[in-house]
Chain A
Amino acid sequence: MADDGENSVDNKPTDDSKPEKMFTLKKWNAVAMWSWDVECDICAICRVQVMDSCLRCQAENKRDVLGRQDCVVVWGECNHSFHHCCMSLWVKQNNRCPLCQQEWSIQRMGK
């Protein structure tokens, strides 16, 4: 986060939280968005955002309400990422990463 540097300086006020203070934080309802931790938002194979299902899955309307188990993201050792569906079709033809031509091997899968 951007404000990491100020952390150490401002740590004290949190510690000596006394009731006389004008304002005390009681509750925080925060909002955060999750997305795949990828370098490129768009799957190079189907050119759809990796957050969406791949084009073929969209066409088949395969997304179920539980999320996108059917169309997760896969990272190669080269750290390039694609839709798992797209990649599994791709490797049948050519077992190399479409972006860097390295031998394709799965580093991790999104869950």
Chain B
Amino acid sequence: MSAAKKYKLMDTTELHDTENIASCLKKGDNGSSNATTGSNLGRSAFAAQNMNSAASTNGERLPNFSKLGSHHGSDMRSASTTSNLLNRMGAIHNTKPGDVKKIVIKNFKAKPTLPDNYSEDTYVKLEEAVIAIQLSKPIKYSLEELYQAVVNMCSHKMDAQLYIKLMELTEQHVKRNIKLKELTGGSMDKLVLLEKINNWWLSFCQQMIMIRSIFLYMDRTYVLQNSSIHSIWDMGLDLFRIHFAQNSVVQKRTVDGLLTLIEKERQGSTVDRGLLKSLVRMLCDLQIYSSAFEEKFLDATNQLYKAESQRKMQELEVPEYLQHVSKRLAEENERLLHYLDSSTKHPLIYNVEKELLAEHLTTILQKGLDSLLEDNRLNDLTLLYGLLSRVKNGTSELCGNFNGYIKKKGRTIVIDPEKDKSMVQDLLDFKDKMDVIVRTCFEHNEKFTNSLREAFEFFINQRANKPAELIAKYVDMKLRSGNKGTTDEELEKTLDKIMVLFRFIHGKDVFEAFYKKDLAKRLLVGKSASVDSEKSMLSKLKQECGGGFTSKLEGMFKDMELSRDVNLAFRGHTLSNDRDVTNLDLTVSILTMGYWPTYAPTEVTMPPQFINPQQIFNKFYLEKHSGRKLQWQPTLGNCVLRAHFDAGPKELMVSLFQALVLLLFNDKPTLSYEEILAATNIEDGELRRTLQSLACGRARVITKTPKGRDIEDRDQFDFNNEFVNKLFRIKINQIQMKETNEEQKATEERVFQDRQYQIDAAIVRIMKMRKTLSHNLLITELFNQLTFPVKPADLKKRIESLIDRDYMERDKDNQNQYNYVA
């Protein structure tokens, strides 16, 4: 059967002869019974198709038909079973090939008409049905019948009246209901009212769906053709909205009810989220969600959280408060997920954040941040950062307070002279701690990294020079041997950390001076832990401050290497000249003056066994290097003495001064202080310390009478023949003079003197490059180049001095401009 035929069949169906669609559909469920009855076939495409499939199953049962093909067979079969229909249409099917007959389709002779009172009857019928639906009562008529009635009404141009009629019915129903709610709602519990309204709404929707199904034909034809008319569903919603919105009492009660319910939930009770969700959906569907509900909801939210935040800020510690805020935010998000409309998300979360966080930003930070940082509460800090980054200015406020904390705390580390011993370690630990916080809690935010740096630079320079000095000493401690237990990698890491601190120091030359002093000690005593680490530290410094900064330090290393070569050459020289000095093993470290720290020149009286080799070496060296002079440094250097005690021979490792004193006992077993002083000519204080180290230290190779710690002018000293020690080689430690204030001052003074040269050099360097430069620009450039803090007045003095020395001149026309003089 072709599609055209099906269409034809549908179209010509007489209106009064309609069959019940429902029954037709019912029969369609069972194909075989449909095929045998066949009476209602052709009414709908659905039925025809059904029959088709039924026929084909029949065809299979009859083998003689199957020869003609199942399709043909079905046609024939349908032709025979639906003979009455075919006759009416006057169409004849070809049953035999060759038997040609034309099919002619004619119009009805008379236009089919409706019975006279059909429209009135149908109105009543439909009205009854709609009211029954609205009252949830059983409908008298079958739905098919009602559907068909609507189709007929529409086909006969009565669709507009029908639509109006339906609208009136719906409106009445809505009105009636809302009146009821208004009258009864007041006395009701809010929850019950909400449930009632929800039920009403749900059943209204169901009713409208049912009504729409019945009036579907109208919805598809009349409504679609007239764009100004709402679909039945929209019309229903519209009416509901109009009356619901008009009736402020009911609407208010509903919204209030919702708000009460939400508040209850916020206070921790369990509420019917399904009900909330359904009602909120209702408001959304009615498109009054934002106008009727959202604003009030947000207001209520603000008020609740405003009061709550004020109360909780008082009651709770900051970390607990933060936990609370985070819980609240999670709850609100869940609320959004479960029943609120997603459009509320932004304003709601914004408001909650504002009331709970933004309003209390300063209080939270002032009250809680310091202790969080102090106690290293990483989780709480992470939470704090997470929460504050949600509100405006949150992170910048946090950053500012973070910065303030570092400055405050850092100052306490740096400023107190009593804490000098642990200052550098404290600084390193503090830096580590803050780094971890920035990295893990503050998402490695660049703003915080920079702020951390700035704060360190600020506080570390709050105390001039001392941090630089202590950092240098800390490096010395790390690089000195005897610092066993740390691997090179660990040491390297520590040095890297130290470099971070070093970077913050303004007076880098102070560091250099102290570092140099310690490096000299390490190199001369051979106490450096590892050459690699020394070199690594040097290259770090070079990288940081440039070659000019480290050239002298590098020169010190170079001196040590050159000395090695010189000593080799000297040994060769003494051997070949067959001198008498071979019984003394002399090694000389030749230092370039200027590279090394300056040592106060001291003169001591040395016995020939020192003087002779010294003179030989002097001669040897100055022959090689003309124009030089050598200045021996008795305060540095050390000796190995072989000593004979009763208990046996020992080897003593002593300083030159100690050696000079001990050797005196070869001639006289008992010596007075004055005698020793006269014989050695060692400076008084130095000599007392030397004697103390020999007579009062751990290894007492001489004895003192009377006993006591301090050396007096009249003390007597004796060779201690009974000296015993389980070791063969004994190092007798020198008593280190406490670095006196004078010494420290001397180092600092030297630094300041050096600064003058550095300023001079920098000025010349800049002027040579620029040729002419205004005063201000020159000062700016100098500030950029110099590695230490300096006052503009000092710079001016240096400029004047250079002008005096003809390195530069004032411009003749412009007093503020300088010209370079080549």
Contact = CB atoms under 8 A, between A and B. Distances in A.
Instruction: Note whether A and B form a binding pair.
Output: yes
A10 B615 CA distance: 15
B807 A31 contact: no
B592 A23 contact: no
A96 B290 CA distance: 100
Nearest to B805: A47
A27 B643 contact: no
A34 B637 contact: no
A56 B603 CA distance: 36
A99 interface: no
Contacts of B603: 2
Interface stretch (B136-144, B157-165, B462-470, B606-614): B606-614
Contacts of B605: 2-3, 6
Interface in B761-777: 761-762, 764-765, 768
A13 B666 contact: yes
Interface string B589-615: 111111010010001011111111111
B592 A51 contact: yes
Interface stretch (B343-351, B381-389, B578-586): B578-586
Given A13-B666, A28-B613, A59 B632 contact: no
A60 B589 CA distance: 30
A30 interface: yes
B669 to A, nearest CB: 8
Contacts of A34: 590-593, 621, 625, 628-631
A66 B561 CA distance: 11
Interface string B724-763: 0000000000000000000000000000000001001110
A31 B633 contact: yes
A28 B585 contact: yes
Given A22-B665, A36-B629, A55-B764, A30 B608 contact: no
Interface string B619-638: 00100011111111100111
Contacts of A66: 558
B630 to A, nearest CB: 5
B632 A32 contact: yes
A52 B595 CA distance: 9
Given A6-B605, A110-B626, A110-B628, A28 B765 contact: no
Which of A33, A66, A67, A75 has the most CB atoms of chain B within a 10 A radius of its CB? A33
Interface residues of B, number: 74
A101 interface: no
Interface stretch (B62-70, B255-263, B547-555): B547-555
Which of A11, A31, A56 has the most CB atoms of chain B within a 10 A radius of its CB? A31
Interface in A1-31: 1-3, 6-7, 10-11, 13-14, 17, 19-31
Contact of B588 (A3, A7, A13, A30): A30
Nearest to A61: B548
A19 B644 contact: yes
Contact of A27 (B555, B558, B590, B640): B640
Contacts of A110: 626-628
A7 B608 contact: yes
B623 to A, nearest CB: 12
Contact of B587 (A6, A29, A61, A109): A29
B524 interface: yes
Given A1-B611, A23-B642, A23-B652, 19 more contacts: A10-B607, A13-B607, A21-B644, A24-B641, A27-B586, A29-B638, A30-B589, A30-B632, A31-B524, A35-B593, A46-B805, A48-B760, A55-B764, A56-B768, A59-B761, A59-B762, A109-B627, A110-B627, A111-B627
Interface of B: 524, 546-548, 551, 554-555, 558, 583-594, 596, 599, 603, 605-615, 621, 625-633, 636-644, 651-652, 656, 659, 662-663, 665-667, 669, 681, 719, 757, 760-762, 764-765, 768, 805, 807
